[in-house]
Amino acid sequence: MNAKNSFILALVFLFALPLSANNKKKDQQRAMLEKMDAVPCGASQKGLSGLGSLWASVGITHMSSNEKLCPQYLIKTDEMEYEIRPTDLKHAVLLPVGQEAVIKVKKNRIMLRAADSDDHKMRSYEVVGMSPTPTNANSSDDRSPSSYSDDDAH
């Protein structure tokens, strides 16, 4: 009877282990919000010029245009630098520059949440640019000390 109980306990443990190992947070990475820029992302136009030559022949050509600016962030991870813009521009939340963030990369989107914020909501951002993070290896100078001539020393 004791062997049967230990066998059942071992089976329960083996089936429970993969369920607990499946952690949603394993796909998440830590990143640093480096900077924010306001970049042009379109124009809001008001007027009648879109109706074509019909209105132009009448003399109604008034058109006012304001350039829209969108926040664009630079986010650095250990391997990559991402330039992102919020997908919901109407309800865009300003992110704290210089703070850490938790990100999850999905194709051309990044789900982002500020690490220290009270709001634990992941927001969607569109990736508009990405590049590998430059390494901090010491680059050798083109002129090594052995290439200096005696004339340079004087």
110 in any annotated domain: yes
| pTM assigned to the model | 0.59
The domain containing residue 98 runs over which residues? 26-39+71-134
104 in any annotated domain: yes
* pLDDT, tens digit, 9 for 90 and up, residues 1-53: 677 777 776 766 666 655 544 555 567 899 999 999 999 887 665 655 555 55
Within 10 Å of residue 62's Cβ, how many Cβ atoms? 10
11 in any annotated domain: no
pLDDT at 139: 46
Determine the 3-state secondary structure of 22 from DSSP: coil
Q: What total of structural domains would you count in the chain? A: 1
Contacts of 57 (CB under 8 A, 6+ apart): none
113 in any annotated domain: yes
94 in any annotated domain: yes
60 in any annotated domain: no
**CB crowding 106-130: b at 16 or more within 10 Å, else e:** eeeebbbbbeeeeeeeebebebeee
98 in any annotated domain: yes
